Structure 1
């Protein structure tokens, strides 16, 4: 199994696991790779250092990064990568603790607010206008970004 550090055109970093280098190139050529955050299909392989467990913690482990002059620098994990990881963990937790009611979101939220349905954690889709109506009615609504990763099982 080959683990590659990948990046989309919007500079979102993520990992890909492939059977071989050839498998990565085949999937890339067939358009099967995309960024889990934004869905961008312009994916490229980044430089990466071998992962050696030498007793250091993850924060201390060096990571290869490419400098603007083409030189490789060793440093700590990029802050953006850590933020992306936190975002995906939060989304995973949200997905596991809510029920997807799809397009019925507004109706379900209103029915719970008026005591017609038992209270439960739900998520779904509605228009910005309807979301504003719900807020004006005193119903708590939290808009989430429409990440492609939300449409599929999160790995």
Structure 2
């Protein structure tokens, strides 16, 4: 089994498990390898080191991507929030990416997909024509602005396609 570190064009980093290098290349060429966050199928391998299990040893200090020791708290706690959040998605910790996917799946599981009828359905709920419930769907930018101007709370939230599917 080969475990590869992969990355899409949006710099989302994730792991893929394949039977062999040929397996990975074949699946990638057929468009079967996709980013779990955004669904992009333009996937590249990242550099990764093999894991060798040579017995129990004391853990070595973690290192950053440049090979220098990683600081457990690289940003002072008093620093403004904007400097604490990385801009490049490739430096987001995998735990944060996993948390986003977990949140996206919870949203999908707890809302009804009304598709292109989103604006119409939101208005019907707002005017009391139907019972209020949690919905999601698609609306144009103009429809979203109109809803907000009418006092209907809406929020754009692009959900990755992978959140709408079950993992195999």
**Residue number among 85, 95, 102 corresponding to 2:115 in the alignment:** 102
Q: Is the 8 A contact 2:104 2:160 kept in 1?
A: no
Gaps of 5+ in 2: 73-90
- For these two proteins, the number of residue pairs brought into alignment is 143
Does structure 2 retain, via aligned residues, the 8 Å contact 1:8–1:42? yes
Normalization by structure 1: what TM-score? 0.73
Give yes or no for contact 1:64–1:73 (8 Å, CA) kept in 2: yes
- Label 1:61 to 1:110 Cα distance change in 2 as closer, same or farther (>3 A): farther
Of Structure 1 and Structure 2, which has the larger fraction of its residues in strand?
A: 1
- What TM-score, normalized to structure 2? 0.68
Alpha-carbon spacing, 1:90–1:146, altered in 2? closer, same or farther (3 Å): closer
Relative contact order (C-alpha < 8 Å, sep 6+): which is higher? 2
Asked if 2 retains the 8 angstrom alpha-carbon contact of 1:49 and 1:64, the reply is no
- For structure 1, the 5+ residue unaligned runs are none
Q: RMSD over aligned Cα, in angstroms?
A: 3.1
